[in-house]
Amino acid sequence: MRVSTPLVLPIGALLFCSATACKSSNPEVPRLAHSEASQASLETAEEPLPTADELASSVPPAEPVAVEPVVARVGEDEVRVSELLSAWMLADSVGLRDMLENLVTTRLVAGEAERLGITISDELLAGEFTRALTELENGLQRQQPGMRLDEWIAGSLGLDPARYRAGIQEDVRRRLLAERVVRRFVLAQDWADVRVLVAETLEEAETAKERIAAGEPFARVAGELSIDPSGKNGGRIPPVVRNQSALSRLAYSTEVGQVGGPVEEAERWMLLEPLQFHAPLEGDWSAQQAAVEASLEERPVAEPEYWLWKIEMGERHPADFEPFFELIDGAARP
């Protein structure tokens, strides 16, 4: 990364300039005569010349040059972090970008949780941490029966087991915060509880609608015909926030008990059944927490909810990834 350093005159040069009144070839600026009269005028001037210390303090400090961390050494040759990231980018650009996105999302979650006053109780954290460790141990036993978790962490991963466990606990805490931040974001807006049925063709969607009109439950028809994964749950999907998306417009233009559609979306045909419309939650976290926790007990946060939240957060707190690309670009420069 190129670091621009401002041009700063040496202190001695500045002192020399002031002592000689910065001689100029400009004829309109007369030279100072070395005489008793001129010396007397200097001594009686209203604004005395600055001292050396004053001049030194007026010089802006040079910008510090960032030293890039070293990740490995081969003899006297050093491998720096920009080289590692550049090689990682070439080998797995999607994975590296996802990791960076996750780090940014973690910061957004932490900031929103602090702003809203959302915290995780010690009891909830301990329970979820124990569950995470149990799942990890069970997976390990399926792959390597008889292997102890700490032995695997130290031997296979080359990590300190205590620090690894602490990292898992922190990941659990961040996940719990993210779930509450995102679900609270959804419930603090106008939202609808709906079922959907997605068909490949218009003809299939019309056939499904005819069956529902004839008296078959929407959930049963969705379970049989919908090509969307929600069909396994009778078409139930995460809360639909009131916005300008096609799904939201269809939901809020259809009355409870009626079937909306079919409408085309991404070359598929969609039917929708509103179950209930909800007003936004009001108040602070202490007033919203019970409703949010109950909602999470009913169903976990789904990926579309995260998308909505990240879009909103991206507009409120834009993330600047330029330093990352500057760092990678720096590895290619000699």
Would you state the pLDDT for residue 62?
63
Q: What confidence tier does 182 reach under pLDDT thresholds 50, 70, 90?
A: very high
**Is 80 exceeded by the pLDDT of residue 315?**
yes
Would you state the pLDDT for residue 249?
94
**Is 60 exceeded by the pLDDT of residue 39?**
no
**Is 90 exceeded by the pLDDT of residue 44?**
no
Q: What are the structural domains of the chain?
A: 11-58 (no CATH), 81-188+282-334 (no CATH), 191-280 (3.10.50.40)
State the SS3 of the chain. Answer: CCCCCCCCCCHHHHHHHHHCCCCCCCCCCCCCCCCHHHHHHHHCCCCCCCCHHHHHHHCCCCCCCCCCCEEEEECCEEEEHHHHHHHHHHHCHHHHHHHHHHHHHHHHHHHHHHHHCCCCCHHHHHHHHHHHHHHHHHHHHHHCCCCCHHHHHHHCCCCCHHHHHHHHHHHHHHHHHHHHHHHHHHHCCCEEEEEEEEECCHHHHHHHHHHHHCCCCHHHHHHHHCCCHHHHHCCECCCEECCCCHHHHHHCCCCCCCCEEEEEECCEEEEEEEEEEECCCCCCHHHHHHHHHHHHHHCCCCHHHHHHHHHHHHHHCCCCCHHHHHHHHHHCCC
Note the residue count of the chain: 334
Q: What confidence tier does 157 reach under pLDDT thresholds 50, 70, 90?
A: very high
Question: Interhelix angle for 218-225 vs 202-213, to 10°?
Answer: 150
Q: Are strands 70-74 and 77-80 parallel, antiparallel or unpaired?
A: antiparallel
Would you state the pLDDT for residue 11?
30
Q: What confidence tier does 22 reach under pLDDT thresholds 50, 70, 90?
A: very low
Burial class, 248, CB count within 10 angstroms (exposed 0-12 / middle 13-18 / buried 19+): middle
Would you state the pLDDT for residue 67?
77
**Is 60 exceeded by the pLDDT of residue 314?**
yes
**Is 50 exceeded by the pLDDT of residue 292?**
yes
Q: Please state whether the predicted TM-score (pTM) of the whole model is above 0.85.
A: no
Averaged pLDDT for residues 219-245: 94
